[in-house]
């Protein structure tokens, strides 16, 4: 592939510790390896949770605006200046507002824009503005087929489904006796519904009192969730880790991973748990991301969204049935080959016409 002078610019609010940021770090390194020039433009902050390849042009055009119109204008002017200096680049906008800002700041220019829809489209609170920008993008990538159905035909006809990649550097599946730890990882945000997980763990603990629940992640609901754990009488068995860069090493011997989200694009933490062979339970949440990777009873267990009893029952099944746990573990690790970074990176290039 001839990629001389081909430049990919990822657009993202910031590089804090989320799944989208992890995917960008993986893809940017793969594209550097393939010979592309790569930039990561942050438009609302300077944070970094994941390292980027030393050859990646990594910069921020603005801090968070918090509604400040002067910060917003500086952001747009800075983005337009950059695109004028790099008129031959290809934009990969990995968020809704990144798509909106890219369309505005490249107006009158012929810079190709590809958008990666990263969450449930129904959760967006600026749908009209989003759809305006998506109509002007060249290509829209979705993590699942279900996600496309939320959009009108003029947007859907530009769509292609590309799931998340699995990091080749993931720890190898653990083969020893698993610890009595149930783990989850993700922002402490309403979307992730950790409250449901705490309720489910409380019910599970009535039968399995020697297990602990370990929660990795930080967010605005931490205090509220800790109070809930106290009310449920499980505070002594719930461990709060905050954001941990080495979470994969810390959880590799866990008894099970549980995702309790009300909606997701694709949960990277779930994907990583599966690739490490951790027996996994997930809500079967919109927009169907868990269903792509989990075949029920073969590579994981799916439970209805918001169903505390079903989640508790699934946790009890894995804790009490060693053969089930082994079968789910063996089935899960197959995603390493099917969703490698190399394969997924190539799909993005094909979608962008590169």
Q: Is 7-165+339-352's fold the same as 181-337's?
A: yes
Band (pLDDT 50/70/90 cuts) for residue 22 is confident
The span from the CA of 205 to the CA of 319, in Å, is 11
pLDDT of amino acid 121: 85
Task: State CA 121 to chain mean position distance.
Answer: 14
Render pLDDT for 106-159 as a digit per residue (tens, 0 to 9). 999 999 999 999 888 888 899 999 999 999 999 999 988 888 989 999 999 999
Q: How far is CA 101 from CA 41, 60, 137, 271, in A?
A: 12, 14, 12, 30
Extract the tokens encoding 67.
């509604």
Over residues 97-107, the mean pLDDT reads 97
pLDDT of amino acid 221: 95
Number of CB atoms found within 10 A of residue 216's CB = 21
Q: Which fold has domain 181-337?
A: Rossmann fold (3.40.50)
Q: Top-level CATH class of 7-165+339-352?
A: alpha beta
Render pLDDT for 240-299 as a digit per residue (tens, 0 to 9). 999 888 899 999 999 999 999 998 878 889 989 999 999 999 999 888 778 888 999 999
Render pLDDT for 325-348 as a digit per residue (tens, 0 to 9). 999 999 999 888 788 899 999 999
pLDDT of amino acid 2: 47
Render pLDDT for 41-92 as a digit per residue (tens, 0 to 9). 999 988 887 889 999 999 999 988 888 899 999 999 999 999 999 999 999 9
Full-prediction pTM beyond 0.75? yes
223 SS3 class: helix
Q: How far is CA 68 from CA 62, 72, 98, 147, in A?
A: 11, 6, 17, 32
Residue boundaries of the structural domains of the chain: 7-165+339-352, 181-337
Number of CB atoms found within 10 A of residue 70's CB = 8
The beta strands (E) that lie in 48-93 are given as: 57-60, 89-93
Band (pLDDT 50/70/90 cuts) for residue 321 is very high
pLDDT of amino acid 171: 86
């Amino acid at each position: 592939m001839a990629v001389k002078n081909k430049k990919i610019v990822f657009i993202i609010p910031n590089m804090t510790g989320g799944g989208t940021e992890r995917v960008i770090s993986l893809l940017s390194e793969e594209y550097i390896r393939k010979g592309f020039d790569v930039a990561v433009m942050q438009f609302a902050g300077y944070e970094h949770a994941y390292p980027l390849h030393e050859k990646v042009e990594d910069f921020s055009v603005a801090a968070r605006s918090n509604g400040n119109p002067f910060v917003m204008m500086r952001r747009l002017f800075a983005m337009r200046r950059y695109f004028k200096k790099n008129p031959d680049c290809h934009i990969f906008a990995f968020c809704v507002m990144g798509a909106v800002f890219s369309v505005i700041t490249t107006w009158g220019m012929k810079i190709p824009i590809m958008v990666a829809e990263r969450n449930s489209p129904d959760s967006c609170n600026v749908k009209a503005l989003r759809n305006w920008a998506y109509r002007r993008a060249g290509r829209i990538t979705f993590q699942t087929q279900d996600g496309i159905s939320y959009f009108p035909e003029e947007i859907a006809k530009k769509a292609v489904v590309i799931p998340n990649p699995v990091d080749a550097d993931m720890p190898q599946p653990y083969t020893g006796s698993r610890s009595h730890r149930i783990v989850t990882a993700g922002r402490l945000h309403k979307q992730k519904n950790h409250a449901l997980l705490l309720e489910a763990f409380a019910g599970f603990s009535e039968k399995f009192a020697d297990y602990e629940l370990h929660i990795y992640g930080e967010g605005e609901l931490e205090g509220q969730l800790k109070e809930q754990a106290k009310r449920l009488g499980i505070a002594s068995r719930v461990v709060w880790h905050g954001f941990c860069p080495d979470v994969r090493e810390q959880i590799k011997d866990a008894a099970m991973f549980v995702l309790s989200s009300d909606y997701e694009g694709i949960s990277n933490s779930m994907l990583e748990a599966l690739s490490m062979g951790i027996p996994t339970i997930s809500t079967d949440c919109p927009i169907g991301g868990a269903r792509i990777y989990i075949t029920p009873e073969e590579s994981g267990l799916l439970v209805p969204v918001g169903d505390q009893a079903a989640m508790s029952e699934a946790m009890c099944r894995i804790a009490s049935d060693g053969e089930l746990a082994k079968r789910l573990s063996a089935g899960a690790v197959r995603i390493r080959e099917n969703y490698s970074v190399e394969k997924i990176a190539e799909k993005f290039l094909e979608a962008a016409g590169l």
